Amino acid sequence: MNTALFCGTLCAAFAAAALPAAGAPSIVPKPVSLEVERGAFVLDGDTVVLFAEAPSGAEAEARYLASVLRPATGFALPVRGLDAGAGARNAIVLGLGDTGGGLGEEGYRLEVEGDSVRLTAPAAAGLFYGVQTLRQLLPAEIMSRVKCEGVAWTVPCVVIEDRPRFAWRGLCVDVARHFMPKEFLLEFIDVLALHKMNSLHLHLTDDQGWRVEIKKYPKLTEVGAWRAETIVGHGGKSRSFDGTRHGGFYTQEEIREIVAHAAARHINIVPEIEMPGHAQAAIAGYPELGNTGETLAVLTKWGVNPYIFNAEESTILFLQDVLEEVLDLFPSPYIHVGGDEAVKEQWEKSPAAQARIKELGLADEHALQSYFIGRMDAFLTEKGRRLVGWDEILEGGLAEGATVMSWRGTKGGIAAAKAGHDVVMAPTSHTYLDYYQGDPKTEPLAIGGNLPLEQVYGFNPIPKTLTRAEAERVLGAQGQLWSEYIATPEHLEYMAFPRACALAEVVWTPQDARAYDDFRARLEKHVERLERLGVNFRSLDP
């Protein structure tokens, strides 16, 4: 068959049927620059995936590409090193090298021509993101986990140059309030990768559950990973409980598997071990960590809870032992220690806490929290890592090396940036994906709030009040999936998508290249991909 003719007809049909916005492909997040040219590359059973052998790093990305193309097409594309001088017809060629375009650590250049695809990047991450773009240039069926018959696997001819706006492009998943199985996290990571997100923050501990095995302190999971039951709905006056035991935790082996799976997709897993608040599950396992000596059960309801860790030296050392194991499991440069919503009432009443404040010459309970977090900061810094905490860690004085995650608006982030600290923006106003995304009357029960898709898209992580130098301190932004009211993976996906698609574009695409209507048009096509992937996304509002 005449390929040019075949492609011409097919591409016209493809454009008419599927491509909004003047025939431009619907890539999410939108690339920095994209030129569509005439013609198309056709992927078939004879296509080869080639990688330039030196410098190394391209081979893993080439193998990943072949592996993601396989299920839907059924093609077992050969992956080979590129012989210098050999022709590269019907080939997808991946190479590491200087593209000359200032693409940074994560950028890439993708050139699709009629008989070959060339993907070049300064580093492996860029090749990976170029592969994600290439997947999105193919028909949506490419995302299918089962073979799709009768699909012409065409890629429109394009030249794309792309790089992310921010280095921290994340989501936080709360696996403490409701445990999520490892298998689900692995799939969720795949979907994040498709959106060029590079950070998954796991909220591993809270009042209602401790979810990571710590060998030195087995009762953290033997006791702390299980609660007797869970409050029903919002509780209200006639609060009732479901009578069903809930729990689970990740073994260290499972954590290593999750971390490795994410790393292969250029996603860093940021572990969070909460302190000094949100600590009841840990205190249930080890009552000596608390302030009252009471034997507690793992909490079965939601909200801010007064049972926080005491600030004794023995407790600080206990938590540093925990962190020691956490550091061994998670190579992340950033370790999150929480710091939010630590009610000080038990410290106010506790003679031991008051004595500690005196002994350390501190002003008050806020200064004691600051001291507590400061000890963790020093510990982590010495191990070559960096502490991250919620914006409450500003109260009573910010630890020297701390990065602030700003959730109560952007105020905390602004203060931290102005004080020369790094910041991740995570404000309730634009990134709380546990809030309602539509009319509460027709949505599944959520914690409250109102965060429609357009509002997420409207977020600019750089507040206007920052100078250029201060703005450099904003590493990026993160969406939060707190799971008090999210009990299943399906529901978590429903809350995450498509709002996480909007967030992905917020953190990837230059601010002045973004417009909601254009995004919304591309999203129509993009949700077909989510559908093929089997993601339980919320349908787009008409």
How many helices and strands, by DSSP H and E, does the chain display? Answer: 18, 19
**Alpha helix ranges (H) inside 176-309:** 182-194, 219-222, 252-263, 280-285
Q: In the bound complex, what is the minimum distance in angstroms from residue 428's beta carbon to ligand TNX? A: 7
Residue from 59, 340, 395, 454 touching ligand TNX (CB under 6 A): that is 340
Residues 296-335 that bind ligand TNX (CB under 6 A): none
User: 61 vs 484, which CB is nearer to ligand TNX?
Assistant: 484
Two tokens, residue 341: 């919503």
Which runs of E-coded beta strand occur in 276-338?
Answer: 334-338
User: 350 vs 406, which CB is nearer to ligand TNX?
Assistant: 406
User: 229 vs 340, which CB is nearer to ligand TNX?
Assistant: 340
CA separation for the pair 176, 340 (Å, rounded): 15
Query: For ligand TNX, how many residues bind (rule: CB under 6 A)?
Result: 9
User: 249 vs 390, which CB is nearer to ligand TNX?
Assistant: 390
User: 51 vs 435, which CB is nearer to ligand TNX?
Assistant: 435
How many CB atoms are located within 10 Å of the residue 200 CB? 25
User: Does 250 contact ligand TNX by CB under 6 A?
Assistant: no
User: 124 vs 424, which CB is nearer to ligand TNX?
Assistant: 424
User: 330 vs 482, which CB is nearer to ligand TNX?
Assistant: 482
Q: In the bound complex, what is the minimum distance in angstroms from residue 211's beta carbon to ligand TNX? A: 14
Indicate the residue type of 273: I
Considering the candidates 59, 111, 321, 341, report the single residue annotated as catalytic: 341
User: Does 395 contact ligand TNX by CB under 6 A?
Assistant: no
User: 177 vs 261, which CB is nearer to ligand TNX?
Assistant: 177
Two tokens, residue 446: 């959520």
Residues 484-523 that bind ligand TNX (CB under 6 A): 484
Residue from 210, 250, 307, 432 touching ligand TNX (CB under 6 A): that is 432
278 in catalytic set: yes
206 in catalytic set: yes
Two tokens, residue 108: 């890439």
Two tokens, residue 499: 């709002």
Instruction: Give the chain's end-to-end CA distance (angstroms, integer).
Output: 41
User: Does 390 contact ligand TNX by CB under 6 A?
Assistant: yes
Contact 298, 282 (CB under 8 A): no
Residues pairing with 268 in the sheet: 199
Q: In the bound complex, what is the minimum distance in angstroms from residue 450's beta carbon to ligand TNX? A: 13
Residue from 53, 59, 242, 341 touching ligand TNX (CB under 6 A): that is 341
Two tokens, residue 277: 């608040």
CA dihedral 483, 201, 407, 234 (to 10 degrees): 10
Indicate the residue type of 519: F
Residue from 41, 64, 482, 519 touching ligand TNX (CB under 6 A): that is 482
Considering the candidates 61, 106, 161, 206, report the single residue annotated as catalytic: 206
Q: In the bound complex, what is the minimum distance in angstroms from residue 341's beta carbon to ligand TNX? A: 5
Residue from 148, 159, 447, 471 touching ligand TNX (CB under 6 A): that is 447
Q: In the bound complex, what is the minimum distance in angstroms from residue 291's beta carbon to ligand TNX? A: 20
Q: In the bound complex, what is the minimum distance in angstroms from residue 258's beta carbon to ligand TNX? A: 21
The secondary structure element, H or E, covering residue 517 is helix 516-533
- Helix axis angle, 182-194 to 252-263, nearest 10°: 10
One character per residue 115-154, x = contact with ligand TNX (rule: CB under 6 A):
----------------------------------------
Which runs of E-coded beta strand occur in 260-343?
Answer: 268-275, 334-338
User: 422 vs 434, which CB is nearer to ligand TNX?
Assistant: 434
One character per residue 399-418, x = contact with ligand TNX (rule: CB under 6 A):
--------x-----------
Residue 351, CA distances (Å) to 264, 273, 315, 358, 419 in order: 50, 26, 16, 11, 34
**Phi and psi dihedrals of 116, rounded to 5?**
-160, 160
Q: In the bound complex, what is the minimum distance in angstroms from residue 28's beta carbon to ligand TNX? A: 26
341 in catalytic set: yes
- Helix axis angle, 489-496 to 499-508, nearest 10°: 50
CA separation for the pair 45, 73 (Å, rounded): 8
User: 155 vs 172, which CB is nearer to ligand TNX?
Assistant: 172
CA separation for the pair 102, 112 (Å, rounded): 20
CA separation for the pair 514, 319 (Å, rounded): 44
Q: Please identify which residue in the block is written with the tokens 């502490």.
A: 387
User: Does 217 contact ligand TNX by CB under 6 A?
Assistant: no
Q: In the bound complex, what is the minimum distance in angstroms from residue 278's beta carbon to ligand TNX? A: 6
CA separation for the pair 55, 253 (Å, rounded): 32
Residues 352-371 that bind ligand TNX (CB under 6 A): none
Residues 47-66 that bind ligand TNX (CB under 6 A): none
Strand-strand pairing, 154-162 and 168-174: unpaired
The secondary structure element, H or E, covering residue 491 is helix 489-496
Q: In the bound complex, what is the minimum distance in angstroms from residue 409's beta carbon to ligand TNX? A: 12
CA separation for the pair 406, 383 (Å, rounded): 25
User: Does 434 contact ligand TNX by CB under 6 A?
Assistant: yes
Q: In the bound complex, what is the minimum distance in angstroms from residue 398's beta carbon to ligand TNX? A: 16
Interface with ligand TNX (CB under 6 A): 340-341, 390, 407, 432, 434, 447, 482, 484
The catalytic site residues sit at 206, 278, 341
